[in-house]
Amino acid sequence: MQVSIRKRLGVLLGLTIVMLAVFSVTGTLSVRCMRRLVAELDASIRSAPHRETLLASIGSFTSLLVSFPEEGGDERLTEWANVHAAELNRRVDELRLESDRFRSRVKETVVRQNLSSVEEAALAGYLQEIEKKVRYIGEAIPYLSEAGKQREQLRWLFQLTSKLTELVSKADDPSAKLIPKLEEAKEDYQFQIWVVIGTAVVGAGVTAWMFYAMRRWIMQPIRQLKNGAQIVARGDYQYRLCLRTGDELAELADTFNTMTARFQAEVANRDKLVREQTQQLLQSERLAGVGFLASGVAHEINNPLSAITACTGIIHDRFQSPPAEWSATDIAECKEYLELIHQESQRCQAITRKMLDFAHGSNDERNLYDVTAIVQDVVSMVKHLGEFHDRKITINRTTPCEAWINGQEIKQVILNLVANALQATGAKGTVQIQIHEHPEQIEIDVVDDGCGMTPEIIQHIFDPFFTTKDVGKGTGMGLSISRKLLQSHGGTLDATSEGLGKGSTFHIRMPIRPAASHARAA
């Protein structure tokens, strides 16, 4: 199964994102654990026995006792006790409440500490002593209102509060040790939060940067390499890649450009060789056409040469006597013979000039030509062939019919088709050339009433080296080359026949105005 590089890089990026997500979740869980620990520590501090709170209650009660009047009679002391009775009872209740709370928290702390039995007994005695002192204080309050006992009770209360303060001061205060740890834990908790947030931000930034880097440094160069390879595969060998990544991909692009340049040179050399061989093949086919013409033209030229020879012989005989002895008739006859020699010489010159033009015509010429004139020129050459003097060639058109073509190549095509038609017909055969002009194209039909063709022959008639002629009378390349020449003009060449003995028709179609690609080629 084929997996693209983009998908593979996407998987790697996805795994990186998953790892960052796992790290983020782990960090979040650790922060939550830290928060729970801080909450538990805070709860422990709140539930721990607060010695300072109990001492503050004792101090509050003692401060009220200090306001007891040192001077004055019993009536004044009784008045003070009655006035502050309610406050004294309230502060005693507060002291009793704080004492119970202190002893309860101390017991809870003891349970968590797993003390030994001896330690537990000592602690129980300590707590009982505190409870007893607080009870004594509460029991002594009513006696402050009895005359004669106020001062004694006051001294007793001071002693109790002093001993209670001493007992409470001996107790360990866990909160005093835990509060600094709680503050430290809170600072660690805040630090962990910022670490997790910073890690998440950095991770997101790194992921975004990785995505950008992968896209710019890997994906885009690979996409350019892929597009460049597709462009070259479509035939544009002039295309060159330009990568400035400064890495292996840039080296690969340089290697690709070197390979493309070498391939372009090889293709250019191959095209040049093909063009040269094509021109050689066209020239050989043209010379074959010249040979076809020459085989019959020699007989046609022989007639005017015979006339020229006869005339020069007669003139030579006239010069056996001095010109001064010539009669007016002799002079007129000599002029007539010279005029005949001149005419026959021009006739021979015209025949040979047409053959030379056909043999040495331009191969690259592409201009506006009169197709009717080209067909008439070919027919005028073929009519000189003595071999086919008994055939009839007709053209349905004499008016100009212009198209943008290579005149020499189209002339070669028409000659090839007409020659084949003449060879396919028998004595008194007929070859019809029909020219039809349409708004966008010209159609030329070469119709003969000769031997005709079977479907099998029509199927292979345009194949190179296929021929139905006797050995030595054809190369089998004429029709193949003719079709190629018409295709180079954007045209077509097709053949039809109703069967053996029913003649054949070769149908040419070519545009009046060439397509853009053919115009550039011209």
Q: Give 73-128 pLDDT, tens digit per residue.
A: 667 777 777 777 788 788 888 888 887 877 777 676 655 555 567 766 776 777 78
**Whether residue 342 sits in one domain with residue 415:** no
Q: Give 215-251 pLDDT, tens digit per residue.
A: 887 788 888 888 888 888 888 888 888 887 777 878 8
Q: Is residue 225 part of a domain?
A: no
How high is the mean pLDDT of the chain? 78
**Whether residue 396 sits in one domain with residue 450:** yes
Q: Check: CB of residue 285 under 8 Å from CB of residue 474.
A: no
Domain stops at, among 360, 384, 416: 360
Q: Residue 175: what pLDDT?
A: 58
**Whether residue 169 sits in one domain with residue 39:** yes
Q: Check: CB of residue 71 under 8 Å from CB of residue 198.
A: no
How far apart CA 15 and CA 38 sit, in angstroms, is 34
Token pair listed for 276:
């040269």
Domain stops at, among 329, 360, 391: 360
Residue found under tokens 């975004």? 208
Q: Is residue 237 part of a domain?
A: no
- Return the higher-pLDDT residue of 416 and 477: 416
Per-residue pLDDT averaged across 431-455, rounded? Answer: 93
pTM above 0.85, yes or no: no
Taken in order 411, 417, 419, 425, the sign of the CA dihedral is negative
- Return the higher-pLDDT residue of 430 and 285: 430
**Whether residue 355 sits in one domain with residue 384:** no
CATH number at residue 467: 3.30.565.10
Residue found under tokens 């119709």? 447
Q: Does position 520 have pLDDT exceeding 50, yes or no?
A: no
Which residue range forms the structural domain that includes residue 485?
364-522
Q: Is residue 422 part of a domain?
A: yes
- Return the higher-pLDDT residue of 275 and 160: 160
**Whether residue 354 sits in one domain with residue 436:** no
How far apart CA 356 and CA 350 sit, in angstroms, is 10
Q: Is residue 211 part of a domain?
A: no
Residue 405 host element (H or E) = strand 402-405
Q: Give 353-404 pLDDT, tens digit per residue.
A: 666 665 555 455 678 999 999 999 888 877 766 677 788 999 999 999 999 9
Rg (CA), the chain: 64
Per-residue pLDDT averaged across 28-47, rounded? Answer: 72
User: How many independent structural domains does the chain possess?
Assistant: 3
